[in-house]
A and B are shown apart, each in its own frame.
Chain A
Amino acid sequence: MRRRAALTAGALAAALALTGCSESAADSGSKTAQLSVSSPYMPQPVSADMAAGFLTITNKGGAGDELTSVSSDVAGQVTMHSTTGGAMAEESSFRIPAHGRLEFRSGGNHLMFEQLKRAPKQGQTVSVKLTFAKSGPLTVAMPVKPATYDPSTGH
């Protein structure tokens, strides 16, 4: 009995993996984007000049969307950047594929908070509003973490 349970679990995992492949299984979800935000954080910045922010946007829906702008209560301006080999480039939008996700993470894409109204300190939370091409806006409470925060270990 236990054996069967184990096998079923294996088969289930395989099935899940299959539906995880976006294109082939596009009919399994809705025809609109279903966006949610996870793991937002801001490393405490060195100065009040600028700060970075990271988060992941997951799309469980059957249609793609685009992140078109970002704003925050602590910054005069928030811009979106991609990074390639040490050079960052400002982007006007980022695509969020159907059944996929858009990741902003250290060393890759990042949000850049400029014209800070105050220097965010560890333990505080900043409010970040994400605006999309199709879906309604999402507001995220972004915690300020230590400058050395590593999301893979959580400290």
Chain B
Amino acid sequence: MRKKTFAAAALLAAATLTLSACGSGNDDDNAPIAVVSGGTESNRPATVLDQPFDKPAVVLTDTHGEKYDLRKETTGHPTLVYFGYTHCPDICPATMSNIAVAKKSLPKAEQDALKVVFVTTDPDRDTPAELGKWLKGIDPAFIGLTGDFAKVQAAARSLGIAVEPTKKDKNGKLVSMHGTQVVAFSPKTDAGYVLYGENASADDYTRDLPKLVKGANP
């Protein structure tokens, strides 16, 4: 009896594998694979780095038009850095909104300690005022930085994030590019030690932020 049940289960598993193997290509990372392997760890959106990143030594302009020295202003603070742009319909607002929601579940003192820094990859359109207006719709305490694109690009590159300048597409529309990761810097070491992919949800950040604000591994 038990043996037969097992055989049926194996057959079902095989069927699941077959299904996941013959998708049309754009759904390879769907659930069945995770079900078969039986683990969720590999799906965790957080990656703790063996070799943490130094915080970029960059001075940009904040949403008030003031100079903002990233290292100086965020030393000793848990800091999340993301590179994006406001004319971005999907990932940029989703990422910032997810962090904003997660932040609300922290105790007040930790909310105040946390620095969330949005660095624009589209400085021509994202002036301090534009950036300020956009971030206000998400979390007024978030820091928006703009400035020379070359500086932004170099800062991103130092974190392993590749961004290209805004360009015109074939229809003459401006197209910008966002980073695909959020980098979390420890308040203890000021090093960027955890990366979040763009699939990180508000729940993921809500679960991990209490650890990140202490510099602990999520």
Identify A45's interface contact among B93, B178, B203, CB under 8 A.
B93
- Is B175 at the interface (CB under 8 A from chain A)? yes
Q: Is the CB of A52 within 8 A of B202?
A: no
Q: Is the CB of B93 within 8 A of A13?
A: no
Q: Is the CB of A52 within 8 A of B201?
A: no
Q: Is the CB of A86 within 8 A of B179?
A: yes
Given A52-B89, A85-B180, answer yes or no on A150-B137 (Cβ-Cβ < 8 Å).
Answer: no
Given A46-B137, A112-B89, A150-B201, answer yes or no on A17-B15 (Cβ-Cβ < 8 Å).
Answer: yes
Q: Is the CB of B15 within 8 A of A113?
A: no
Stretch at the interface among A30-38, A65-73, A97-105, A125-133: A97-105
Which A-chain residue is minimally distant from B24 (CB atoms)?
Answer: A100
Q: Is the CB of B163 within 8 A of A106?
A: no
Q: Is the CB of A88 within 8 A of B180?
A: no
Q: Is the CB of A153 within 8 A of B89?
A: no
Interface positions, chain B 1-40, Cβ under 8 Å from A, are: 1, 4-5, 7-9, 11-12, 14-16, 18-19, 22, 24, 26-27
- Interface size class on chain B is 35 or more
Given A88-B175, A153-B203, answer yes or no on A7-B4 (Cβ-Cβ < 8 Å).
Answer: yes
Question: Which of A43, A87, A90: most chain B CB closer than 10 A?
Answer: A87
- Rounded to whole Å, the gap between the CB of A147 and the closest CB of chain B is 4
Stretch at the interface among B71-79, B94-102, B106-114: B94-102
Q: Is the CB of B4 within 8 A of A3?
A: yes
Question: Which of B11, B86, B178: most chain A CB closer than 10 A?
Answer: B11
Given A10-B12, A85-B162, answer yes or no on A108-B26 (Cβ-Cβ < 8 Å).
Answer: yes
Q: Is the CB of B173 within 8 A of A7?
A: no
Question: Which of A3, A88, A90, A148: most chain B CB closer than 10 A?
Answer: A148
Q: Is the CB of B87 within 8 A of A7?
A: no
Contact indicator per residue, chain B 176-215, by CB within 8 Å of chain A (1) or not (0): 0111100000000000000000110111000000000000
Identify A110's interface contact among B7, B89, B173, B202, CB under 8 A.
B89
- Interface size class on chain A is 35 or more
Q: Is the CB of B11 within 8 A of A150?
A: no
Q: Is the CB of B175 within 8 A of A22?
A: no
Interface positions, chain A 31-83, Cβ under 8 Å from B, are: 43, 45-47, 49-52, 83
Q: Is the CB of B8 within 8 A of A6?
A: yes
B residues near A103, Cβ cutoff 8 Å? 26-27
Q: Can you name 11 A-B pairs with beta carbons within 8 Å?
A: A3-B1, A10-B9, A10-B11, A10-B15, A20-B19, A43-B94, A46-B134, A87-B177, A88-B90, A89-B169, A112-B90
Which residues of B does A touch, CB under 8 Å? 1, 4-5, 7-9, 11-12, 14-16, 18-19, 22, 24, 26-27, 86-87, 89-91, 93-94, 96-98, 101, 133-134, 137-138, 162-164, 169, 171, 173, 175, 177-180, 198-199, 201-203
